[in-house]
Amino acid sequence: MQCVKCGAKAVYYSVYSGHSFCAKCFMKSVEQRVRATINRYKLFDPEDRIVIAISGGKDSQVLATIIAKVEKDFPGATLSALIVDEGVPGYRDFGLRRSKELCDELGIELTTTSFKELFGYSLPEIVSIAEQKGVSLGACTFCGILRRRAINVKAKELGATKVATGHNLDDEAQTALMNLLRGDVVRLLRLGPKPVEEFPGFVPRVKPLRYIPEKETTLYAYFKGYPLYEVECPYVRESMRDEIRSILNEIEGRHPGTKYAIVRAADRLSAMGASLKVRVGSCKYCGEPTSRDVCRACELLEVLGVTS
Amino acid sequence: MQCVKCGAKAVYYSVYSGHSFCAKCFMKSVEQRVRATINRYKLFDPEDRIVIAISGGKDSQVLATIIAKVEKDFPGATLSALIVDEGVPGYRDFGLRRSKELCDELGIELTTTSFKELFGYSLPEIVSIAEQKGVSLGACTFCGILRRRAINVKAKELGATKVATGHNLDDEAQTALMNLLRGDVVRLLRLGPKPVEEFPGFVPRVKPLRYIPEKETTLYAYFKGYPLYEVECPYVRESMRDEIRSILNEIEGRHPGTKYAIVRAADRLSAMGASLKVRVGSCKYCGEPTSRDVCRACELLEVLGVTS
């Protein structure tokens, strides 16, 4: 098979478009689609101070690489990266090294922070305190809430006006599906490519890879020669996401286009959700934005008797 | 284990409520929940002419039985039943006999109609015409669209002001999930217990069993001594629904409450969808209500060169 663009030997066939690509043209096609997402949804402003939430995994490597290229079109914008170490032994070490290496290559400044630094305890320590106190919440719940807080707090310190995350099509379809299965309409309606509303104190998050299937972010990283080695989080088997991932891959196999259809549906729902005003104030403990009196992060830390 | 209500020997344990019931109290509990749905969502008006869409399967038997009881509270209302024979050999025979028998027992008048009567052809004939003409639509697509048309046309002839259908919690959760997987936001937003808007020419449909799990409609029918024998439609394996049913049962097994959470989410979405006005006019061929120029039923029949 030949590349539809340049006639060279094709290495990838896209079921969606029905086209075959050589490695070079495939990478260009991914970059073009990311640019199209950025333009269509106006993810960035010319003067943005963009902070990439990096993990060292394939998606965030691909994100950093493409955003570094795109940023050249926005001479008024600045770019840096932020990595959060949850302190799970052996899990983030590779990502920390790889993020440093890639940011050096791309000429992006990297800031490192950790649960320990921000909250006084690592994730395993928090999980073990929770067990002692009989708090029956999974590690993924703590991690999700605290990572969100960590990224927002550090991004503000860095003067960020946007945080870019590496969520790909698969992640977003999984999240939309999980929100429906949990009956969480509010989260389902918030799941657009860009926040429908801006809240004081919360740095808006954008997801430039939202329409790129995981298969393609992996392939892009592979063609770039990036290490694909990923340490699986020891807690991953606890999460409903892991279950939804397999189910969705099965359905996609039989009905190609399903992941895309779900994400498009979430887009339309979130556009509708824009009209539902959410009252956002400040957490009475930490001052971070929240729709509650006390934010989820402070609530968790309080239950555990841990103060941030 | 003892029945939580009367202390008799329990035969059913409800995971949702954490209560055990004897057969009699279980049936009462189902009836109470159906009444609660009817009251909460105002499914019926005092002067309604209610037509039950019956199939002879367990759900529609349970529906007819409970509605016949509830109707006694609405002396101004009338009740009748309607069955549609798709003409699939061997499939509907039992349902036709059983519906007649049950309606006689309940003192409800039953009207029978068929695809043949209304459209000139049975479903298998339509499927074979479609194959000859190279129309690549599954039998379930034809059946769904034509059954909907058949029920509306005959219900109007019967002077109906409401059509009640036997959709249970499982059906509704499957439909919501399918709509998301297909990216069909419009249908997802329309999926409430009751139409959010009334359209001229379309008899509003209500779903009194919407919050009763399939397991419980089956058990109710079993305790009533109703025949549970159901002939599986020979086309069922073609449908995506069959796939979604298994997936959802798997998830429900691991996360009890998921079906309910999905249906509640669909409720909230459809309440929001109420604000999205849909323009509904009349099909230029048959005059039935549609948001298009030509309704889906006429479009299908036209493609096949079959006129109704």
Q: Count of CB atoms within 10 A of residue B246's CB? A: 9
Give the pLDDT score at B238.
63
Of the candidate ranges A266-275, B61-70, B97-106, the one whose mean pLDDT is the lowest: A266-275
Binned at pLDDT 50, 70 and 90, residue B70 comes out as: very high
Does the beta carbon of B260 lie under 8 angstroms from any beta carbon of chain A?
yes
Which ipTM score applies to this complex? 0.79
User: Across chain A, what does the average pLDDT equal?
Assistant: 90
- Residue B275 one-letter amino acid: S
Give the pLDDT score at A269.
86
B181/A255 Cβ within 8 A: yes
Give the pLDDT score at A196.
64
- Contact yes or no for A77/A42 (Cβ under 8 A): no
Residues with Cβ within 8 Å of B157's Cβ and at least 6 positions away in sequence, in order, are none
What span, in angstroms and rounded, lies between the C-alpha atoms of B175 and B248?
Answer: 11
A181/B176 Cβ within 8 A: no
Query: Residue A231 pLDDT more than 80?
Result: no
pTM (global) more than 0.90: no
Does the beta carbon of B240 lie under 8 angstroms from any beta carbon of chain A?
yes
Domains of chain A: 1-28 (no CATH), 41-276 (3.40.50.620)
Give the pLDDT score at A91.
85
Question: What does the pLDDT look like over A188-200, one tens digit per residue?
Answer: 888 777 776 677 7
* Three-state SS annotation for B147-176: HHHHHHHHHHHCCCCEEECCCCHHHHHHHH
Question: What does the pLDDT look like over A108-152, one tens digit per residue?
Answer: 999 999 999 999 999 999 999 988 888 878 888 889 899 999 999
Alpha carbon dihedral A172, A173, A178, A181, in 10-degree steps, equals 150
Residue of B nearest to A189 (CA): B269
pLDDT average, residue stretch B73-100: 92
Q: Where are the beta strands (DSSP E) in A23-117?
A: 49-53, 78-85, 109-114
Binned at pLDDT 50, 70 and 90, residue A177 comes out as: very high
Give the pLDDT score at A307.
64
Question: What letter would DSSP give residue B22?
Answer: -
Give the pLDDT score at A302.
85
What span, in angstroms and rounded, lies between the C-alpha atoms of B40 and A258?
Answer: 35
Tokens 């004939």 identify what position? B125
Binned at pLDDT 50, 70 and 90, residue A181 comes out as: very high
Q: CA of B206 to nearest chain A CA: how many angstroms apart?
A: 22
What span, in angstroms and rounded, lies between the C-alpha atoms of B77 and B159?
Answer: 12
Give the pLDDT score at A304.
81
Give the pLDDT score at B187.
83
A181/B262 Cβ within 8 A: yes
**Percent of chain A at pLDDT exceeding 70:** 96
Question: What does the pLDDT look like over B35-63, one tens digit per residue?
Answer: 999 999 999 999 999 999 999 999 999 99
| Residue A282, beta-bridge partner list | A289
pLDDT average, residue stretch A66-82: 93
What span, in angstroms and rounded, lies between the C-alpha atoms of B36 and B31?
Answer: 9
In this complex, the residue of A183, A247, A272 whose CB is nearest that of residue B262 is A183
Give the orientation angle of helix A139-157 with respect to helix A296-303, to 10 degrees: 120
- Contact yes or no for A55/A94 (Cβ under 8 A): no
- Contact yes or no for A290/A281 (Cβ under 8 A): yes
- Contact yes or no for B109/B50 (Cβ under 8 A): no
What span, in angstroms and rounded, lies between the C-alpha atoms of A94 and A17?
Answer: 35
Does the beta carbon of A69 lie under 8 angstroms from any beta carbon of chain B?
no
Token pair for B302: 């036209």
Token pair for B292: 């298009």
